[in-house]
Chains A and B, each alone.
Chain A
């Protein structure tokens, strides 16, 4: 295996989700741009799966300040204020870009983009295209990508970011035949999405394996708040092999009722005021508690019931849910759904500036792989906006960055090659490592966490990370790399969770009692890189 520089570009974008494609479109205005993606372009990632919508303050009666305040409150005030300002101010313009490019959002009678209410927001500011908003955005972006001069390499997996003197100068990739290639670039944009697949139960697509966190960490970048994992309260539990599949929040929005196996409407014990419409973290914890304490269904969920609603309402407002459940033999007009929490979103990620610059020169990040926008808990609808706002910014900054012309260090390439060759003589089936890791994370770093369990989980994760993975042929090298990244990402989550000695937003330590509420927490971001780790204190510098 001898990797030569196979491709050169001014900007290399990694990932073809909402953030990656937006970044590539922008970067290509400034120089030669190459986009690489593990999937067929646009088919990977979570963007095409997003159902609910895109938050933007569009109306007179709404305001960016309102959007900002809702986002900070939802994020338990852990958000990076500068990033949130950028998000709320630019979300409307980026939405207009999509409209200009042909996005088919639902519209009002007066031809404005229609908006609906989403959890934690004082104004209905979530723009939507039925219940396939992300897919609509992805299709729109893909069309523009196909029309642009961006070069696209599909089904190519990035194994490592390549560095020279502390700066990122490109990436090593495995092509679809398993051959290692080198891409040299002046700037590199990471847009690899999230990592919720480190858990046994997850809503994410197959690429949600956290590659980007691991790639960034490997290149020396600093990550923040990696312990902040959003668990969606309602993932499907049946069939078992498809567990975790998202049951949209709209079901509760339409009036869905949660009951435990004893038939109790248990939300009255957790949030009597908002009941089922409480925030995601509260509902997720309530459901998890019911199941944990033995009041779950035999399949390990609780009931989510819409049978009291008129059939016409279900058919008209929840068509995709109706159709999906029917396919699994459940008529939600007549029987309740069974749901349980499912790992959904990583709020943390690479530390970025408002232009998407990471802590490493030459490396930019945008979308779910970046941290700071959502704080300790994400509002539904803010991520799709994030992909566009920060995708454009990162693409632009990467495009404007000077040419460097540096080549990767040969020594790093040697190491990469040796690791890949190791897989060919490895012993352990990566699928088994993945399964064990997911179970360990679900058990020890899930919704409820304690110090001792986290420590124990860290040991298990690190042990799994040291396994000598086996690739029967070169075609399986990418898969081994993915499991390698999965292990690193899990390690980052657990280490960060150990760094935060409080319960905040999505991070709950049941073994700690605390006097402060989120607004008065003395703590800021957790941070972690190859060089340092810790937690920021409010009012002091890290």
Chain B
């Protein structure tokens, strides 16, 4: 098989380059075995491994751009193998020691009694970490903030759960950057042990911080507002809900009926975008039912660890749809969608607007003379696994030019309010990527991303549905 491998000896060369090797391996071989085969012929290739069975965490590399354990990932003809996105020592070997040194040790109280079975059960999933640093290599917050990162946060939570530990873990975690994490989910999606760090560690640590009275003042304000108004943002203009009827019939025959969960941002900050979406849905045969008593999904509270009021919100939201016998609820906000899908137990199905439009099949819009790029909202891509649908929709209207990297824009996880400098730094990095594409316009599918990128980028930002609507408008103009 042919394999491209990154080669770089920083002691000698200014920059690295890819080399293609042709080697023979047996059926079922892993990436590691390919590296062994290369090394047998070219001893100068450096790479790290030890157990060969996914237990030691020495061998993480990027395979076709994705962090993977070399010893567990099946090799593929034509694959590219690169080091993790960490300082490279040589070829595929990266510096691990600085990141590993950030992982806090347990401070023994001295008792030799075991924790209770339920405490053990809570700690165990966080304990499977093999310290491979795949998560650390993809964490956007670490690039711009003083943040010890996902592997270290996982450990803080593991320690916080252990009655044998004498350390003060919450203040420590806050000092280590707990509130700089954008909950982008990148870390656990690449974790070979599938340790849900954002949900099982970061948000849990923030919840413990909340109990200790250490929630950030800005986050407390948001929670207060939710309790008072049911919404996380104050009303500064006419809201979306104030502008629409409860039932919106499609123009033609009804192809589908959905309940629409609007979310605070589209309701109060970007109502125009939501109205655009309604136009597109109407045109494509989707009947939309919009219960007006719906409230915030609670995502901003979950992400910042303020769980007290959450059940009230959940109950209200579920009831408003069940009382209308709705079996499919559509979200348009990536954050709401991810929350309804992952943090709720709903008796109905939740689908994102991109899924709905893909399923009903859209009327072809006219093509616009635009080159656009697409920014994946974290809570759509990783929170809901939606990658291809928005892209396919975009391609119906305009040329799509991809950015080199998929990364968080910095809007989520309460960082925009809680750690604005971090949030801004990430947006600026994102803007660099946007500029590199030379696109006329950035398309996204999340109000947080749209609003946030819009604040820091000169390139205009639009929602997928707005772009589609523009395509329809052009089509109609042509006819008129």
Q: Could you tell me which A residues sit within 8 Å of B by CB distance?
A: 39-45, 48-49, 96-97, 99-102, 104-109, 111-113, 129-130, 132, 135-136, 139-140, 143-144, 146-147, 154, 176-177, 205-207, 238-242, 245-246, 324, 327-329, 429-432, 470-473, 475-476, 479
The interface stretch among B124-132, B237-245, B255-263, B313-321 is B124-132
B25 interface residue (CB < 8 Å to A): yes
Q: Could you tell me which B residues sit within 8 Å of A by CB distance?
A: 11, 25-30, 33, 36, 39-40, 43-44, 46, 48-58, 71-72, 74, 89-90, 96-97, 100-101, 103-108, 110-117, 120, 123-124, 127-131, 159, 162, 164-165
Return chain A residues, CB-CB under 8 Å to B124: 104, 130
Please, how many angstroms separate the alpha-carbon atoms of A58 and B113 in the complex?
13
Q: Determine which of A106, A112, A242 lies in contact with B30 in the assembled complex, contact meaning CB atoms within 8 Å.
A: A242
Given contacts A100-B110, A241-B30, 14 further A-B contacts (CB under 8 A): A39-B56, A40-B97, A100-B108, A100-B111, A107-B114, A112-B114, A132-B128, A143-B103, A146-B103, A239-B29, A431-B40, A432-B40, A472-B43, A475-B90
Q: B105–A147 contact, CB under 8 A? A: yes
Return chain A residues, CB-CB under 8 Å to B103: 143, 146
Given A135-B130, A136-B127 in contact, is the A429-B120 Cβ separation under 8 Å? no
Q: A206–B114 contact, CB under 8 A? A: no
Given A102-B164, A147-B105 in contact, is the A48-B51 Cβ separation under 8 Å? yes
Return chain B residues, CB-CB under 8 Å to A479: 43
Please, how many angstroms separate the alpha-carbon atoms of A484 and B13 in the complex?
31
Q: Determine which of A105, A108, A431 lies in contact with B39 in the assembled complex, contact meaning CB atoms within 8 Å.
A: A431
Pair count A-B, CB < 8 A = 154
Q: Determine which of A111, A136, A143 lies in contact with B115 in the assembled complex, contact meaning CB atoms within 8 Å.
A: A111
Please, how many angstroms separate the alpha-carbon atoms of A206 and B48 in the complex?
10
Question: Taking CB as reference atom, which chain A residue is nearest B127?
Answer: A104
Q: B49–A111 contact, CB under 8 A? A: no
Question: Taking CB as reference atom, which chain B residue is nearest A105?
Answer: B114
Return chain B residues, CB-CB under 8 Å to A240: 26-29
Please, how many angstroms separate the alpha-carbon atoms of A111 and B117 in the complex?
7
Please, how many angstroms separate the alpha-carbon atoms of A527 and B254 in the complex?
88
Question: Taking CB as reference atom, which chain A residue is nearest B33?
Answer: A241
Given A111-B117, A242-B30 in contact, is the A139-B101 Cβ separation under 8 Å? no
Q: Determine which of A108, A147, A241 lies in contact with B29 in the assembled complex, contact meaning CB atoms within 8 Å.
A: A241
Q: Determine which of B28, B39, B49, B162 lies in contact with A239 in the assembled complex, contact meaning CB atoms within 8 Å.
A: B28
Q: B114–A473 contact, CB under 8 A? A: no
Please, how many angstroms separate the alpha-carbon atoms of A107 and B130 in the complex?
22
Question: Taking CB as reference atom, which chain A residue is nearest B36?
Answer: A241
Report the minimum CB–CB distance from A201 to chain B (whole Å): 13
Report the minimum CB–CB distance from A209 to chain B (whole Å): 11
Report the minimum CB–CB distance from A232 to chain B (whole Å): 13
Q: A206–B105 contact, CB under 8 A? A: no
CB pairs A–B below 8 angstroms (8 shown): A41-B100, A43-B58, A99-B114, A108-B117, A111-B113, A132-B55, A241-B28, A241-B30
Question: Taking CB as reference atom, which chain B residue is nearest A143?
Answer: B105
Please, how many angstroms separate the alpha-carbon atoms of A452 and B467 in the complex?
81
Return chain A residues, CB-CB under 8 Å to B44: 472-473, 475-476
Question: Taking CB as reference atom, which chain B residue is nearest A136?
Answer: B127
Please, how many angstroms separate the alpha-carbon atoms of A475 and B91 in the complex?
12
Question: Taking CB as reference atom, which chain B residue is nearest A327?
Answer: B72
Question: Taking CB as reference atom, which chain A residue is nearest B57?
Answer: A43
Question: Taking CB as reference atom, which chain B residue is nearest A177?
Answer: B11
Given A111-B117, A147-B105 in contact, is the A44-B29 Cβ separation under 8 Å? no
Q: B51–A205 contact, CB under 8 A? A: yes
Given A130-B124, A146-B101, A241-B28 in contact, is the A102-B106 Cβ separation under 8 Å? yes
